[in-house]
Amino acid sequence: MLNLFVYKWIHLAGVFLVFLAFGGLLVEQKFKLAKQRWASISHGVGMFLLLLGGFGMLARLGIHWPWPGWIVLKLGIWIVFGFWLVVTRRNWLPPAVSYTVLFGLALAATYFALWKPF
């Protein structure tokens, strides 16, 4: 097992890749550009690293099932981020709405991790 900070670093690397991907996906959607392969790859690799780092930290912090509410909610946000690739690619919402929702969810995930309110 790796140490807590290595998992945290992996987790944050995942956040950066996923958000770089969303930046690309939103520009692609707004300007009707060809599907950017790097954006899908960055999204996929980032989602994997988020999960790997997240579960690695849970093990290191000794947090087991039943999970506290903040972990359940973060997992929910992770699932939404996965699904959001489809939301942008299929043009389901205007890019400005997506942008706002994604930013809000990132703030919420960070709040849950830092304050652990429940």
Q: By the criterion CB under 6 A, which residues form the site for ligand HEM?
A: 8, 11, 15, 50-51, 54-55, 57-58, 61, 71, 74-75, 77-78, 81, 106, 109-110, 113
Nearer to ligand HEM by C-beta: 75 or 93?
Answer: 75
DSSP string, the chain: ---HHHHHHHHHHHHHHHHHHHHHHHHHHHTTPPPPHHHHHHHHHHHHHHHHHHHHHHHHHT--SSPPHHHHHHHHHHHHHHHHHHHHHTT-S-HHHHHHHHHHHHHHHHHHHHH---
Q: Residue 92: which residues within 8 A CB-CB, separation 6 or more?
A: 86
Minimum CB separation of residue 19 from ligand HEM in Å reads: 8
Q: Which residue is nearest to ligand HEM (CB)?
A: 54
Minimum CB separation of residue 106 from ligand HEM in Å reads: 4
Nearer to ligand HEM by C-beta: 34 or 86?
Answer: 86
Minimum CB separation of residue 56 from ligand HEM in Å reads: 8
Nearer to ligand HEM by C-beta: 20 or 106?
Answer: 106
Minimum CB separation of residue 81 from ligand HEM in Å reads: 6
Nearer to ligand HEM by C-beta: 33 or 72?
Answer: 72
